[in-house]
Amino acid sequence: MPDETVRSASYTVPCEDYVHVVEFSPFDCGSLVSLLAYGGNQYVVVGTCRFKEEDTEVEDVEFTSLQVFLHGVRVDAIAWSPETRLDKLPPVIRFCTAAADRKIRLWTSELQNSCDVKVIEGHTSYINHLVFEPAEGKQIASVSDDHTCRVWDLDGNETISFRLRSPGISVCWHPEDNCKLMVAEKKGTIRFYDLLTQHAILSLDSGQVPLMSADWCLTNTIKVGAVVANDWVIWDITRSSYPLEKRPAHVDKARHFRWSRANENLFATTGYPGKINSQLLVHHLGHPQPVMIGSASVGAGLSWHRSLPLCVIGGDRKLFFWMTEM
């Protein structure tokens, strides 16, 4: 692949700390701006973004920090709650984090100086991913190296626990049916659970290991994607438990897989944070090669904007944004 296809970021935003994880809110917050949270070694920063593609008066990107949350320990994952609203008085910011100390923290703020934090304990090993139930935000699901997927209420009570056969890597809630949960395991299996019966109703097999990240296409829920070893794989869950498509993506192990929210055929993968640069690839189903290759110094995390074909990764005291042509 020729090097001239490697693109530097469309926009960058400076940060105070190394960024381990970054997440756009996938929910409507009642405002024209997009909410973004990023986590470092000590802090979570919540802010708003506007891009010139949305507002011609903006030059490139406008990032406004709303609140800095002292986290005290490295942030490994962030999930937004659908209860977050900027059009209420007072506004409500709610999100949860997973941390290096194996605890989940549920943060609620009215953007005054104080905030409420609830610590949720139960996992016995590293928490890899977590997500809010998307309709009302009254439950949180998390997956861990302790071979469990657990569902919690907002008081911190564990309401459901699924025993897994290997470390839990990714968890996704169905956008309309809040009784369906997708759980991806490191050994290459993805299972869909019915939360009412607490049984698995469907499973997919990647045919190889290790599975490092998986995502459910929320704009077309028959599509599931993942990165396994160096490859990306895509399933059509109505057709087969084995991948419909598979392609090599990264020379080193692949790290993240995320579907775009703006286009059901667009997805991004990242390589493992290397010694110098981490590679971001944006793929379009139907194109044999990546439609965009980006490179960022020691990138971490990956998230798509909720309506633009734009993704973000974190890095060393920077956020890197890439706009993709549709």
Q: Binning pLDDT at 50, 70 and 90, where does residue 284 land?
A: very high
**25 CB contacts (<8 Å, ≥6 apart)?**
34, 35, 36, 37, 80, 84, 306
Residue with tokens 């569902």: 151
Query: Which pLDDT does position 3 carry in this prediction?
Result: 46
Angstrom distance (rounded) from CA 171 to CA 183: 5
274 touches 258 (CB < 8 A)? no
Query: Could you give the 3-state DSSP secondary structure of residue 35?
Result: strand
Residue 184: name the closest of 207, 203, 159 by CA.
Answer: 203
**DSSP conformation class of 25:** -
| 279: its two tokens | 């590679």
Tokens in use for 276?
């110098």
> What is the tens place of the pLDDT at every residue in 56-111?
899 999 999 999 999 999 999 999 999 999 999 999 999 999 999 999 999 999 99
DSSP code per residue over 143-189: EETTSEEEEEETTS-EEEEEE-SS-EEEEEE-SS-TTEEEEEETTSE
Tens digits of residue pLDDT in 215-244: 999 999 999 999 999 999 999 999 999 999
Quote the CA–CA distance of 53 and 62 in Å, as a whole number.
Answer: 11
Token pair, residue 230, equals: 């160096």
Distance CA 92, CA 257 (A): 29
Between CA 222 and CA 236 the distance in angstroms is: 5
Q: List the Cα angle 292/298/303 in 5-degree steps.
A: 55
**What percentage of the chain reaches a pLDDT higher than 70?**
97
Mean pLDDT of the chain: 94
